[in-house]
Structure 1
C-alpha cells in the first residue's frame, strides 16, 4: 500500500497533537520537522523561570518521541527556509522534502513592538527556551544578590518589571513572588526587597477572561505583594527605566515582556493573507487556499469560533486545531464530507504561585486555591506522562536497534 506522506512543520503543541492523531493510521507516513531537537512546554515556563522546575521538566526529545510511534514516524532537525506548494516540497537549508499533505505549525514568538523604543534591547521574552533559560539565570542572580546584602541595614529595593498582564505575565509574576515569599526565612529577609510590578495597557489584568478569573487573580497577586498597573502605556524603555506615556518613570533592574506575539512566518511562492500579528488567515477548513493539501494550526494561524470570535493563542487552541486537521485529512482520504473548523475554549486555569491556582471549566465550574492547583496539575501531568511514555518506547527501540 502506498502511504501518503504528511509533513508537519513545528514541534510545538499543535505539531505534536497532529502527529498523535495521524500516527495510528497505516495509510500515513509522517515527518516532523523542527529547528530544535526538543519540544518546549511553554505552559510550564513560569515554574522553570522561578526555579520550581528543572530543564528536564519542560523539554522532550523529539527524535525519541517520534521513534516511539514506529518506523512510519520520523523526526528531522533542520532549519525550514520555505515552502513550494506548486512542487509540493518543503525547502530546507540543504535539501527539499516532498509531501502529499502539509501541516504548518510553526508557532509564534514574542512581539517586541517596534513602536516602543528600546523594548527589544532591554527586555526578555519567554516564548523560546533560550530566553527562558537566560531569564531564570538572571532571576536567581537577583535573589543571590539580595542574600549577599545581609550586612546592609537598609537594603535598596530591587525592581522586576513585567510588561503584559496576560496569562504568561501573571503566572510568571505570581510564581516569582511566591518563591520570594515562602523562602525569605531561609534566603534572608533582604530577599523580600525584590519587588515585582505588572504593567498592562488594558484596563484589567487577563483581558478577555471572566470576571471571576480576573477578580480572584487580582486578589492573589495583591496578597503576594505584586504591584499592578493597568491602563499603563509604555512609551519607551531605557536601561534601568521604563517611561510611560503619562510621563511616569519606573525604575527596574530586570524586565520581561509578555505583552504580545507575532507568528513565525514561512517563505512561500504563493502569497498568503496574514493579519496584524503575522498569522496566516486560512479558509473555513484551515486550508491555505488554493492549495487544498496545505493546512495551518496553532499560534501561526488566525483561529475563530463558530461566532467568528478570535480564539486565544493557547496550547488548548493549538491542539484543537491540530485534531481538526488530522480528522480532515482522514475524511478526505475516506471521501467523507468535512465541516468547517469551529472550536471553543473549554476552560482556563491560571497558576498563581505555589499550590494556588484559579480555574473555570465550561463557563460554569469555578474553582480556586489548592483545588484548582490540583486540577491544573492533573491536566499537566497527564500531558507530560503521555509524552514520557512515548519517549521511553522510542528510547528503547533506539537502544535495541
Structure 2
C-alpha cells in the first residue's frame, strides 16, 4: 500500500514512525522544507536561548535512518486529485492509496486589523523566527554599543501559549543581560497585549495565575481586554485610541490553515481548517486524512481541541493504527483526543504546568519536566538521524 504524507511537522513524523513498522506499506513524505522545525521551542530560539541546530532536524537524513521503504520529496504539494488518487507537486505527480495531510498552519493575521501583517512577525515558520531572533539580538547589541536612556519597546500581540513563552524568555534574557553586563535593561520593555479578559484563555486557572505572577516578576507589561485597531510601522493603535510605540512587534494571536487547504475544495471552517469525522477522514473521502493544525480536531464529546504538537501526534497515531487495521481487515477506532498535560516555559529555569490534569507543578521542577519531554523528543529524532548518517557512509 502506498501512503503519502504531506507535511513533516509533529504529526507527519509521528505518522511515519508508526506506519513504517508495517512491511506492507511504502511511505512517501512530502515537505517544501528540507528540515523539521520544532515550533514548540521557538520562544527559546528567538530569545537566544537555543541555536538553530537545537530546533531543526534534516528530514532526508532522518528518513534514511529507518533503512526501510520510505522516500522524502523536498517539494511543495500544490494540488490533490481525489478521483485519480494523485498528488501534484511542483515537479511531479505522485499516486497514493491513502493520503495523510499534516501541513500545519500559519499565523492568522486578521484582515480587520489594518497594517498588522505588513508590520509584524509571526513565529510559525523558521524564516520569520530567525528574523525575530536577529532583531532581538540587535536590540541587545544597541544597548551595549550605545548605552544610554533610549527606550526599546517589544510588543507581543496575543497572550496564548506562544506569546506568553516568548514574552517571558525575552524578559528573562534582558534581566540576565543586566546582571552580567551591568548595563541597565529597564529601558527594554516587553509589552504583552491580549484581547481576552485573561492570558492563556481557556487554560487551567492554576497555570494562568502562576504565569501572571511570573510575568509580573519579570517586568512584562501585561495588557488584557486590549483590542488592537491598527498597526503602523512604529506604533500600535488600540481600539480606545491609545498609542504604543514599538521597535518591533510579534503577533501570535492565532492560526489559519493554508497551502492545500486553499486548493482542495472540501468542507472547511472559518480558519480554513479541514472538517474531519471521528476517524479523522476529510468528509466524503475515506482514503484521505487530515491531522494536526490543518484540521478542526474534536474530542469524543465534540469539544474542540487546541492546535498543539501533542494533539497532532495523537491524531497521527490514531490514523496510522486505522490504516494498519484496514490492511489487516480489523475494526477501526474513533479518535478520542485528550490533553495529557500542559507546560508553559516562563524564562530561564522556570515553568508551570499540570500532568494528566491532576498534578500541578511550578518553578524548577516544572522546568525540568518540560525539558525532559522536549529532550526525549529531540533525542529520538537525532538517534534516527545519526543512523541515517551511518547508513550513508
Instruction: State whether TM-score is above 0.5.
Output: yes
Instruction: Give the conservation status (yes or no) of the 8 Å contact 1:83–1:268.
Output: no
Secondary structure at the aligned position of 1:192 is classed as coil
Q: Does the 8 A contact of 2:8 with 2:29 survive in 1?
A: yes
Partner of 1:332: 326
Check whether the contact 1:84–1:269 (CA below 8 A) recurs between aligned residues. Answer: no
2:72 is matched with which residue? 75
Look up the match of 2:58: 61
For the residue of structure 1 that corresponds to 2:275, the secondary structure is: coil
User: What secondary structure does 2:240 align onto?
Assistant: coil
Q: How far does residue 114 in structure 1 lie from its aligned partner after superposition?
A: 0.8
State the Cα distance separating 1:112 from its structure 2 match: 1.1
> 1:44-193 residue pairs with structure 2 within 5 A?
44-150=41-147, 152=148, 155-193=149-187
Stretch deviating more after TM superposition (136-145 or 282-291): 282-291
Q: 2:365 aligns with which of 358, 371, 377?
A: 371
Q: Which residue is equivalent to 1:228?
A: 222
Instruction: Answer yes or no: is 1:208 the counterpart of 2:181.
Output: no
Asked if the contact 1:80/1:91 (under 8 Å) is kept, the reply is yes
Contact 2:5 2:100 in 1 (8 A): yes
Provide the rounded CA distance (Å) in 1 between the counterparts of 2:2 and 2:88: 15
Please report how far the alpha carbon of residue 130 of structure 1 lies from its aligned counterpart in structure 2 after TM superposition: 0.1
The farther-off stretch of 251-260 and 284-293 is 284-293
Give me the whole-angstrom Cα distance separating, in 1, the residues matched to 2:123 and 2:263.
31
The answer as to whether partners of 2:8 and 2:36 remain within 8 angstroms in 1 is yes
Once the two structures are TM-superposed, the CA of residue 156 in structure 1 deviates from its matched residue by 2.5
Aligned to 2:315, what secondary structure does the other structure show? helix
Matches of 1:273 and 1:267 in 2, distance apart?
A: 10
2: CA distance between counterparts of 1:396 and 1:252? 49
- 1:162-210 deviation line (CA, Å, top 9, x unaligned): 0000000000010011111112133342333100000010100000101
- 1:102-152 Cα offsets, whole Å, 9 max, x none, are 0000000001111100001110001000000000000000111111223x3
Structure 1 residue matching 2:249: 3-state secondary structure = strand
Q: How many residues align?
A: 393
Q: CA deviation at 1:8?
A: 0.2
State the match for 1:396 in structure 2: 390
Q: Which residue of the other structure, out of 18, 27, 32, is the alignment partner of 1:30?
A: 27
Q: Shift of the alpha carbon at 1:228?
A: 0.3
Moved >3 Å (runs of 4+): 267-270
- The 1:88/1:205 distance shift into structure 2, 3 A limit, reads same
What is the alpha-carbon distance in structure 1 between the residues aligned to residue 206 and residue 380 of structure 2? 31
2:266 equivalent to 1:272 = yes
Task: Report the equivalent of 1:282.
Answer: 276
User: How far apart are residue 282 of structure 1 and its match?
Assistant: 1.0
C-alpha RMSD of the superposition: 1.2
Corresponding residue SS for 2:388: helix
Decide whether the 8 Å contact of 2:262 with 2:272 is kept in 1: no
Is 1:5 the counterpart of 2:25 in the alignment? no
Q: Which residue of 1 aligns with 2:288?
A: 294
1:269 Cα deviation after fit: 7.9
Partner Cα distance (2:33, 2:182) in 1: 39
Contact persistence 1:9–1:32 (CA under 8 A) = yes
Q: Does 378-387 or 245-254 show the bigger shift? A: 245-254
SS class of match (2:371): helix
Conserved? CA contact 1:85–1:270, under 8 Å: no
